[in-house]
Amino acid sequence: MLLECRRKINMKVLLLLPLLMGLTSAQFGGFGGFGNLGNRVPGANVANRLQQGLSNIAGRLPSPPLLTNVQNFGDFVAQTGKTYATAAEQTLREGVFSAHKNLVDASNEAFRRGTKTYELAVNVFADLTNAEFLKQLTGNRKSSAGEEKSKRHRQLAKKKNVPVPDSFDWRQKGGVTPVKFQGECGSCWSFATTGAIEGHVFRKSGQLPNLSEQNLIDCGKEDIGLAGCDGGYQEYAFEFVTNQQGLAVGEKYPYLDKRDTCKYQSELSGAEITGFAVIPPKDEQAMKEAIATLGPLACSVYGLESLTLYKSGIYADEECNKGEVNHSILVVGYGTEKGQDYWIVKNSWGTAWGEEGYFRLPRGKNFCGIATECSYPIV
Q: Which residues are catalytic?
A: 188, 327, 347
Q: What is the pLDDT of residue 87?
A: 97
What's the predicted TM-score (pTM) here? 0.88
- Classify 245 as helix, strand or coil: coil
Q: CB–CB of 280/236 below 8 Å?
A: no
Closest CA to 78 of 114, 50, 108: 50
Residue 57's pLDDT is 55
Helix (H, G, I), strand (E, B) or coil at 213: helix
* CATH label, 138-378, candidates 3.30.465.10, 3.40.50.300, 3.90.70.10, 3.40.1210.10: 3.90.70.10
Q: What is the pLDDT of residue 54?
A: 35
pLDDT reported for residue 33: 41
Q: What is the pLDDT of residue 61?
A: 94
Query: For residues 331 and 370, is the Cβ–Cβ distance under 8 A?
Result: yes
CA distances from 76 to 44, 84, 275, 334, 365 (A): 12, 13, 45, 34, 36
CB 128 within 8 A of CB 93: no
Task: Tell me whether strands 154-156 and 310-313 are parallel, antiparallel or unpaired.
Answer: unpaired
The answer to whether 272 and 249 are in contact (CB under 8 A) is no
With residue 76 as reference, give the H or E element that holds it. helix 73-80
pLDDT at 14: 42
End-to-end CA distance of the chain: 49
DSSP of 85-151: SSHHHHHHHHHHHHHHHHHHHHHHHHHHHTS-SEEE---TTTT--HHHHHHHH--B---HHHHHHTT
Please, where in the chain does CATH 3.90.70.10 lie?
138-378
d(CA 375, CA 241): 14
Are 202 and 233 within 8 A, CB to CB?
Answer: no
User: What is residue 18's predicted lDDT score, i.e. its pLDDT?
Assistant: 39
pLDDT per residue, tens digit, the chain (379 aa), is 544 455 444 444 444 443 443 333 333 344 444 333 222 333 333 333 333 333 355 688 999 999 999 999 999 999 999 999 999 999 999 999 999 999 999 999 999 999 999 999 999 999 999 999 999 999 999 999 999 999 999 999 988 888 999 999 999 999 999 999 999 999 999 999 999 999 999 999 999 999 999 999 999 999 999 999 999 999 999 999 999 999 999 999 999 999 999 999 999 999 999 999 999 999 999 999 999 999 999 999 999 989 999 999 999 999 999 999 999 999 999 999 999 999 999 999 999 999 999 999 999 999 999 999 999 999 9
Reported residue count of the chain is 379
Q: What is the pLDDT, as a whole number, of residue 160? A: 82
Domain 63-127 listed as CATH 1.10.10.10: no
pLDDT for position 5: 52
Q: What is the pLDDT of residue 161?
A: 82
Give Cα separations from 181 to 62, 157, 201, 379 (angstroms).
7, 30, 22, 25
Type of residue numbered 34: F
- DSSP letter at 3 equals H
